[in-house]
Amino acid sequence: MLSINNRTTGKKIILPLDSFKTIRWLLKHIERLVPNRHEMLTAIYEELPPRGEKMTAAEIRTQVERNWAMRIRMSYARLVMVHYYVHKSRKTSQWLEIDERLGILRGSSVDFQRHHAQLVLDKDNELFSHLKRFDKINKEDFTVPSLEDVRKSMAATALNNEATAATLNNTQAVNGD
């Protein structure tokens, strides 16, 4: 059981610890601003250091700034978790979704992985970089980039690259290069 003090009424609320309803209730009653990616990663490194030993402020700053894999992983995990608890039924698990996507990514090209990572970071930035309260973010915006979104991103980049190459070739032809 989870005991929480309701700040509005002052009464204690008892909720089952391992309950889908509990998670939804908690998400609806978050009273603080949702941290942006930098704040989230800083808090993770402060409270859950990778080697189990507290890190200095400089070590934390370095990890937050340079560990791109952690940025992508934590941003993806946050997106999936929020999406799952806002939109999904309790008959499936967010971990199944995460494991399935990771399996697909492992077997994908580096370019596909790069586009997926960028879409995840863009979505995380769109949702969580404005220091809003969770209940002030439109629930319909809680989406996770799909595999089709990644394919479209790759196609758009390829088209853009072709257009840039064609423009460059035309410019060189006009200039006689």
Reported as a single tens digit per residue, the pLDDT across 61-113 is 999 999 999 999 999 988 988 888 888 766 677 888 889 889 999 999 999 99
pLDDT score, position 125: 94
The yes-or-no verdict on residue 117 having pLDDT over 80 is yes
Is the Cα torsion angle 133, 134, 135, 138 positive or negative in sign?
positive
Q: Which of 101, 124, 123, 122 is nearest to 113 (CA)?
A: 101
Q: What is the pLDDT of residues 19-40, one digit of tens each?
A: 556 555 656 656 678 889 999 9
- Which residues have a Cβ under 8 Å from the Cβ of 46 and sit 6 or more positions away? 54, 55, 60
Q: Where along the chain do its domains lie?
A: 32-145, 146-177
Q: Which of 145, 136, 159 is nearest to 117 (CA)?
A: 145
How far apart are alpha carbons 63 and 57 in whole angstroms?
Answer: 10
Tell me the percentage of the chain whose pLDDT exceeds 90. 41
Q: How confident is the model at residue 163 (pLDDT cuts 50, 70, 90)?
A: confident
> Would the pTM count as exceeding 0.75?
no
Token pair for residue 155? Answer: 């196609």
Helix or strand run (H / E) with residue 172: helix 147-175
How far apart are alpha carbons 154 and 140 in whole angstroms?
Answer: 25
Looking at the DSSP bridge assignments, the partners of residue 133 are: 33
Cα torsion 169, 170, 175, 177 to 10°: value is: 20
- Tell me the residue type at 136: K
How far apart are alpha carbons 177 and 170 in whole angstroms?
Answer: 10
Task: Kindly report the length of the chain.
Answer: 177
